[in-house]
Amino acid sequence: MPQSSVVILGGGPGGYEAALVAAHLGAAVTVVDRDGLGGAAVLTDCVPSKTLISTADFMSQFETASDLGVHLEDHEGDEVADSVAELTAVNRRVLALAAAQSRDIGRRLDADGVVVLRGTGRLLSPSRVEATLEDGSTRELEADVVLVATGATPRVMASAQPDGERILTWQQIYSLPELPEHLVVVGSGVTGAELAQAYLGLGSRVTLVSSRDRVLPGEDADAATVIEDVFRKRGMEVLGRSRMASVERTGDGVVVRLEDGREVTGTHALLAVGSIPQTGGLGLEEVGVALRESGHVTVDRVSRTSVRGVYAAGDCTGVLPLASVAAMQGRIAMAHALGDAVAPLNLRAVSANIFTDPEIATVGFSQKDVDEGTIDATSVMLPLATNPRAKMQGITDGFVKLFARRGVGTVVGGVVVAPRASELIYPVTLAVQHGLTVDQLAGTFTVYPSLSGSVAEAARQLHPTD
Ligand SMILES: Cc1cc2nc3c(=O)[nH]c(=O)nc-3n(C[C@H](O)[C@H](O)[C@H](O)COP(=O)(O)OP(=O)(O)OC[C@H]3O[C@@H](n4cnc5c(N)ncnc54)[C@H](O)[C@@H]3O)c2cc1C
């Protein structure tokens, strides 16, 4: 059989994971990438934010030290009241780590024989891509299969223009020379909430401007309430029902004007008001690829677009803006295009995590699905405060919540709010993915004492009784 040729636009998780699969399946693969391998996920969004949060998390552990009987003293024996982050050192680490991860991906692609072209790609036809390289020259590439994985970029509003110094998108914060004295974060979705708490932990005064009743709209309401309480307890000012109208720079600060006329001043503003897909100028509409009104590429569960041979993966599809989902969509696309066994994308089994402190991890059906009758399920919520390990570790906020199909007891979803909830959600995800019952989950040994003991205990309480 002649070797298939695959051209991938974008080297983020959607693109590079697809490239590895396609290369293993024997295709000749070229990745055209504009901004650097790993994409926004590695260079500006996911990896940098989680690295920054690791420093903030480390610092917040000092706050519970005295509860656990530890007094931090300086060389003179005086009690240390505050730990201080040196932002330039933190940012240097963040950027070095991101660059190293990008290089690792490059080496991996190279080892697997994938050709990487640094430049901007666009479709000339469903089987021809033009790459404009960094030196301005162009190359035309023939392709049996094209994958579009060009990601998304921060939404910018005319009334709130970032200047990269005091009015910032989340992609610009890593060049800040010093810790903002008073950061006003606009937007209380996942990115806004994570970064607001990170800067609070690092030592900034933080005001969070949220247009909704509570932070993290769209997430489990019980979980969001825990997080908002923690934010306030730690000194963050949370302004609910406060819609931003404009952000402007003043001499040495910023003013955020709200739609109701109030003004919030600070030294810096961070805009976290969503993303828009990078699908303009790619020639997609010209070759017949259907886009939604939002600009996202329409795809099915095996990542096909409306044009045969053209696939799309990741944030440019708007399916679920997660690196893990982008990678899965990319892998599925290549398996489908190159004739390998393929299971369509199953969003019900996607585990997701919000890296606040405590973290919020979710999988499967949600409380909203249960409340709206999308699924007939029973649920139980166990506060972590009753868990012995949590008590030993001084953990007071958080819970485990499980949903089980009524009558049969199959685990269909869960929420964990805890430190490292991203690790604790895995047994629940396994149960959801493989249709395990609450009895099977409850009948599996957990370590004593452990936080995962609460997952088993919640399952035990959901034992079907009729
Ligand atoms: C602050 C923040 C934190 C996040 N944290 C997490 C997290 O913890 N976990 C998680 O799972 N997800 C996280 N996400 C989401 C995650 O970053 C995205 O879902 C992921 O980046 C999507 O991958 P992608 O491959 O679709 O696109 P991207 O990672 O955006 O990569 C797209 C690539 O395409 C290139 N490109 C664009 N146009 C062209 C063109 N015309 N030609 C050639 N190349 C082009 C770009 O240069 C880029 O390299 C976070 C997002 C944000 C904003």
Q: How does DSSP assign 7-21, residue by residue? A: EEE--SHHHHHHHHH
Which of 295, 40, 39 has the alpha carbon at shortest distance from 172? 40
pTM > 0.85: yes
Measure 322 CA to ligand 1 centroid, in angstroms: 8
Q: Looking at residue 404, what is its pLDDT?
A: 98
Say if ligand 1 is within 6 A of residue 228 CB: no
Say if ligand 1 is within 6 A of residue 314 CB: yes
Whether omega for the bond prior to residue 358 falls within 30 degrees of 0, making it cis, is: yes
Question: Looking at the DSSP assignment, which residues form a beta bridge with residue 351?
Answer: 363
Measure 32 CA to ligand 1 centroid, in angstroms: 15
Determine what percent of the chain falls in helix, strand and coil, rounding each to the nearest 5.
35, 25, 40
**322, 334, 356, 362: which to mutate for ligand 1, most atoms within 8 A of CB?**
322
Per DSSP, the three-state class of 227 is helix
Say if ligand 1 is within 6 A of residue 321 CB: yes
Q: Looking at residue 120, what is its pLDDT?
A: 98
Q: Looking at residue 466, what is its pLDDT?
A: 64
Helix residue ranges per DSSP H, 25-157:
39-43, 46-65, 87-111
Q: Looking at residue 72, what is its pLDDT?
A: 81
Q: Looking at residue 147, what is its pLDDT?
A: 99
Backbone angles phi, psi at 268, to 5 degrees: -145, 155
- Whole-number Å distance between alpha carbons of 307 and 5: 17
Measure 93 CA to ligand 1 centroid, in angstroms: 20
Atom of ligand 1 nearest to the CA of 281: 41
Q: Which ranges of the chain have pLDDT less than 50?
A: none
End-to-end CA distance of the chain: give it in Å, rounded: 58
pLDDT digits (tens, 9 = 90+) for 4-49: 999 999 999 999 999 999 999 999 999 999 999 999 999 999 999 9
Which tokens in the block code for residue 203?
Answer: 């030592």
Atom of ligand 1 nearest to the CA of 313: 26
Measure 445 CA to ligand 1 centroid, in angstroms: 38
- Beta pairing class for 182-186 and 268-271: parallel
The alpha carbon of residue 37 and the mean position of all alpha carbons in its chain are separated, in whole angstroms, by: 18
